[in-house]
A = this chain, B = another copy of it.
């Protein structure tokens, strides 16, 4: 059973209506007139970070990837629960938590601590959404496709071995809140811009037509490698053609009526992997 088959099997379980058929990164829970956004991501040694990584960075990344999922919904974080592992240098883990929780004004709600090696950490983030909660399947033919910030900095940091951009991504919470009321579809870019754009397009029943020259690439990064590498945690969004984003963002293409493939780069279907595919 591979991951796709496993997720298909999970879809046969009793699902909450807010689980959206497990087609999104987050769940919505309507309660008391409010809409909560819930997300859970785990990161494991040897899979999401290298053995020997400073526990400060593990803590930052663990929380950041979950806050990034809230950002894509335009949600304001209410708190996080941490599934922590008591690792060597746990003091640094606490300091990393302190840094990101303070930076984004997110309180710790609780969690659990275990001792296990190699370590797998979990985080559940809870946010409060506004009136509009963007999904990845709301894009329409004719929409412009945009991405915040630049892509490739995480790749460059990883390859240079300093890792700040790779290990300490900055979730686009303010940008997500500013964009949510206006966009048709939005998601964070975790597995590669081209792959995530193809997913947004496919979910929306469209094709993403992207111009390679338009990609906002970090200085020094190869555009195609940057666009297929992932871990930048920028926001990708589809909005009406005449929408002017209130945040720093670059228009990278257009959603069109569905073609044979979900993504065209300079008019052709790429013959290389679009990003990081989970096995």
Chain A positions within 8 Å of B, measured between CB atoms, are: 1-3, 6-7, 9-10, 12-19, 22, 24-27, 29, 31-34, 36, 38-44, 46-48, 78-79, 81-86, 90-91, 94, 97-98, 101-102, 105-116, 118-120, 122, 124, 126, 128, 278-279
Contacts and interface: CB of A to CB of B under 8 A. Distances in A.
Nearest to A80: B16
A78 B29 CA distance: 9
A229 B85 CA distance: 23
Contacts of A39: 81, 110
A6 B110 contact: no
The number of times this chain is found in the oligomer is 2
B13 A101 contact: yes
A29 B36 CA distance: 11
Contacts of A119: 120
Given A19-B108, A109-B18, A114-B47, A81 B38 contact: yes
Nearest 6 CB-CB pairings of A with B? A32-B32, A122-B122, A16-B107, A120-B120, A40-B81, A124-B124
A91 B31 contact: no
Contacts of A278: 113, 115
8 contacts: A3-B113, A10-B84, A13-B97, A22-B110, A31-B128, A38-B109, A40-B111, A115-B278
B40 A126 contact: no
B13 A94 contact: yes
A22 B109 CA distance: 8
Given A1-B91, A114-B120, A122-B122, A108 B9 contact: no
A31 to B, nearest CB: 5
Contacts of A101: 13-14
Contact of A112 (B40, B111, B112): B40
Contacts of A85: 120
Given A13-B94, A79-B29, A116 B120 contact: yes
A128 B16 CA distance: 15
A256 to B, nearest CB: 30
B19 A112 contact: no
A31 B101 CA distance: 21
B116 A47 contact: yes
Nearest to A117: B118
Nearest to A81: B40
A9 B16 CA distance: 36
Most-contacted residue by chain B among A24, A113, A118 (CB, 10 A):
A113
Contacts of A17: 107
Given A97-B13, A108-B16, A7 B82 contact: no
A29 B107 CA distance: 12
